[in-house]
Chain A
C-alpha cells in the first residue's frame, strides 16, 4: 500500500538524517559552535569511504570505522589548531569562521577530487526485500540501524564513561570542569573530533545511497541544522527521533502536497518549533 511505503521511506530516510545531525548537535551542545562546515565533513567522510572501497577494495561497511577514525583525527586537529583560537569570542564568530572553513574545504575537495561525481557501489548497493507489500532498500535499513547504534554508543559514552562525564561537565560549566582537572583544549578537540567522525560515517552511508561530489555539503548542513535544533542538543536519541520526524514529514508532504514542498516543511517546522518552545527560547546564547 502506498501510504505504508511512504511511511517506511520516511522513517528510513529520517534515520540517516538523524545520524547526519548527531555530530552537529554534539558539537553545538558542548562547544557552542554551530559548524557550518558540517556538510563538508560529511562529504569528506564519504570520499574517505569511497577511496577505501575503490582503491583498496575494503567493503564500505568495514571501511566506515576507518573513515570515522580518519575524520576524528582531522576534526581533532582542526579544533585544536584553529577553532580553539576563537572559542571565547562572540558566538556569531563561530558561524563565520566555520562558513569560511566550508568554503576552503569545498574548494580543496574540488582541487583534489575534481568535480566528477562518485558513487560507492558495492555489489549489494541496490539490494532490497519486500515485506507486507512494502519494498525496503537494504542499505537504507542498514543506515537506519547504524544511526541507532551510533546514537546508542554516544549515549553510553556520555552517561557512563569518564570521558562522557567530562564532556557533559564542560558543557555545563567550563570553569568548574577546569577546577576538576579537565583539560579543556584537549576535551574540546576530542569532542569536535567525535562530531567529525559521526559526520564522516553518515557521509559513507550517503555515498552508497546517492552520490558524492565536493558540493553535496551545503544542503546537508541545512538539514542537519534543522534536525539538531528540533531534536535538542542534549540527548543523542532525541536527535535521531527528530530526524525521523523530519523524514516522515517530508515523505508525507511529498505524497499529499507535492515533492517541491519538502523544504517548506522542514524549515517551516524549524521556525514553528523554535517559536513555540519557550523553554528553549529563553536559554540565552
Chain B
C-alpha cells in the first residue's frame, strides 16, 4: 500500500461512504450498516485467520458476546448504549483471553473446530440463562437513528482497517506472519508465540464484539440463534477469503462485493438467491482460491487462462 493514489482513493471512498446517510435512501443505509458490520467481521477475522494463519470458525462467539453484553447492560441494568458497548467488548475480549489460551494450542483443522464448538457451546449456555432472556432473547429500546448506526459502523471499520494496516507494518505483524508460515521456526527464533497468538485473537475479538453490540442496538432484538448464528462464521470467512486474506483491504473489498451480490440477489431474484449464492461460493472456491485481489492480479499478468491454471494447481 505504498502508492499514494491508493491511499487517496481509499480516503475519498471513505468520505463518500460517510456521506451516504445524508444523500442515500433508507434502503441503502440499511444495506450499508449490514455491509459495514460484515466488513468489520471479515477484517477482524483477517487478523487471526489471514495474518496469523489460525483460521477461526467461531468468531461468532465474540459477536454474540458483544451483542449480549450490550443488551444485558441496557435491558437488565438500565445502562445507556455508550456504557453497554464497552461492556460487551470487554466480555468478548475476556472470552478471547480465557478460552483462547487453551484453544490456541491446537492447530489447523482442530483449531477451527474447537472455535466452532466453543461458539455453539456458549450459545447453548446463554440460551439457558435467565439474565440473557434464555432462548427468547432480549428486546432493546427502540431508536430511530439509522444514520448514527451507519457512521458508528463505518468508524469501527475504519478503526479496524487502520489496526490491520498498522499490523502489516509492525514487528507484531511480522511475528504473526512468521507464526503463520512456520510456527515452530518462529518459536525457535524467540517469538513468544502464545503471547502473539492470544493478542491477535483478542484484537479480533475486540472489533468483532463491538460490531455485535452495534448490531444488537440497531436491530433491537437479539436471541441466541441470531447473535451466535453459525453461518456468520462462514460468511465472514468467505468474504475475507474472497477478497484475499492477509492483505489490508482484501477482506473489506470481499465483504462489500459479496454483501452487494447477496442483497441484489435476495431482492431481485428473491427465492433463488440462496441457490445462486451457494453457487457463487462453490465457483469462487474452485476458480479463485486465493481471493479476488490475487485473481485480478493473476489475470492481469497471465490472462484469462489464469482461472484454469488455478484449478490445475489445486486439483487432485
Also in contact, A271 and B117, with CB within 8 A (given A101-B282, A104-B282): yes
Chain A neighbourhood of B280, CB < 8 A: 100
B114 touches A275 (CB 8 A): yes
B121 touches A281 (CB 8 A): no
Chain B neighbourhood of A86, CB < 8 A: 285-286, 289, 314-315
Also in contact, A188 and B286, with CB within 8 A (given A226-B117, A284-B108): no
Chain A neighbourhood of B316, CB < 8 A: 84-85, 87-88, 184-185, 188
Give the complex CA separation of A101 and B234 in angstroms.
13
Chain A neighbourhood of B109, CB < 8 A: 32, 34, 91, 285
Give the complex CA separation of A85 and B313 in angstroms.
9
Query: How many Å from the CB of A184 to the closest CB on chain B?
Result: 6
Segment from B63-71, B123-131, B149-157, B198-206 that makes contact with A: B123-131
Query: How many Å from the CB of A231 to the closest CB on chain B?
Result: 13
Residue of A nearest to B114 (CB): A274
A100 touches B315 (CB 8 A): no
Query: How many Å from the CB of A179 to the closest CB on chain B?
Result: 16
Chain B neighbourhood of A82, CB < 8 A: 282, 286
Which residues in chain A, 25-56, are within 8 Å of chain B measured between CB atoms?
Answer: 32, 34, 36
Question: Does A2 count as interface, using CB distance less than 8 angstroms?
Answer: no
Also in contact, A90 and B289, with CB within 8 A (given A260-B128, A275-B102): yes
Question: Does A172 count as interface, using CB distance less than 8 angstroms?
Answer: no
Residue of B nearest to A267 (CB): B121
Residue of A nearest to B113 (CB): A229
Task: Tell me how many residues of B have a C-beta within 8 Å of chain A.
Answer: 46
Give the complex CA separation of A32 and B259 in angstroms.
30
Segment from B5-13, B168-176, B271-279 that makes contact with A: B271-279
Which residues in chain A, 256-284, are within 8 Å of chain B measured between CB atoms?
Answer: 258, 260-261, 263-264, 267-268, 270-271, 274-275, 278, 280-284
Give the complex CA separation of A258 and B285 in angstroms.
42
0/1 interface trace, chain B 105-142, chain A, CB 8 Å (1 if under) = 11111101110111011011101100000010000000
Give the complex CA separation of A264 and B281 in angstroms.
31
Give the complex CA separation of A283 and B111 in angstroms.
11
Which residues in chain A, 74-96, are within 8 Å of chain B measured between CB atoms?
Answer: 82, 84-93, 95-96
Give the complex CA separation of A97 and B278 in angstroms.
9
Among the listed A99, A225, A261, A278, which residue makes an inter-chain contact with B281, where contact means beta carbons less than 8 Å apart?
A: A99
B274 touches A103 (CB 8 A): yes
Chain A neighbourhood of B167, CB < 8 A: none
Question: Does B38 count as interface, using CB distance less than 8 angstroms?
Answer: no
Chain A neighbourhood of B274, CB < 8 A: 103, 106-107
Give the complex CA separation of A200 and B125 in angstroms.
32
Give chain A's interface secondary structure class: helix
Question: Does B57 count as interface, using CB distance less than 8 angstroms?
Answer: yes
Question: Does A222 count as interface, using CB distance less than 8 angstroms?
Answer: yes
Chain B neighbourhood of A275, CB < 8 A: 102-103, 105-106, 114
Residue of B nearest to A83 (CB): B316
Query: How many Å from the CB of A49 to the closest CB on chain B?
Result: 25
Question: Does B241 count as interface, using CB distance less than 8 angstroms?
Answer: yes
- How large, as a class, is the contact surface on chain A? 35 or more
Which residues in chain A, 240-256, are within 8 Å of chain B measured between CB atoms?
Answer: none
Which residues in chain A, 108-129, are within 8 Å of chain B measured between CB atoms?
Answer: 108
Among the listed A85, A92, A225, which residue makes an inter-chain contact with B237, where contact means beta carbons less than 8 Å apart?
A: A92
Query: How many Å from the CB of B236 to the closest CB on chain A?
Result: 11
B107 touches A282 (CB 8 A): yes
Chain A neighbourhood of B117, CB < 8 A: 226, 267-268, 270-271, 274
Chain B neighbourhood of A88, CB < 8 A: 313-316
Give the complex CA separation of A283 and B108 in angstroms.
9
Chain A neighbourhood of B275, CB < 8 A: 103-104, 107-108
Also in contact, A97 and B106, with CB within 8 A (given A87-B314, A87-B316, A274-B113): no
Residue of B nearest to A80 (CB): B316
Question: Does B238 count as interface, using CB distance less than 8 angstroms?
Answer: yes
Query: How many Å from the CB of A233 to the closest CB on chain B?
Result: 10
Given contacts A87-B316, A103-B274, A281-B106, 5 further A-B contacts (CB under 8 A): A92-B55, A104-B275, A264-B121, A270-B121, A283-B107
Give the B-binding residues of A (Cβ under 8 A): 32, 34, 36, 82, 84-93, 95-97, 99-104, 106-108, 184-185, 188, 222, 225-226, 229, 258, 260-261, 263-264, 267-268, 270-271, 274-275, 278, 280-285
Give the A-binding residues of B (Cβ under 8 A): 55, 57, 102-103, 105-110, 112-114, 116-118, 120-121, 123-125, 127-128, 135, 230, 234, 237-238, 241, 272, 274-275, 277-282, 285-286, 289, 311, 313-316
Q: List 10 A-B contacts (CB under 8 A).
A: A34-B113, A96-B234, A96-B281, A97-B282, A100-B278, A103-B278, A184-B316, A261-B128, A270-B121, A280-B110
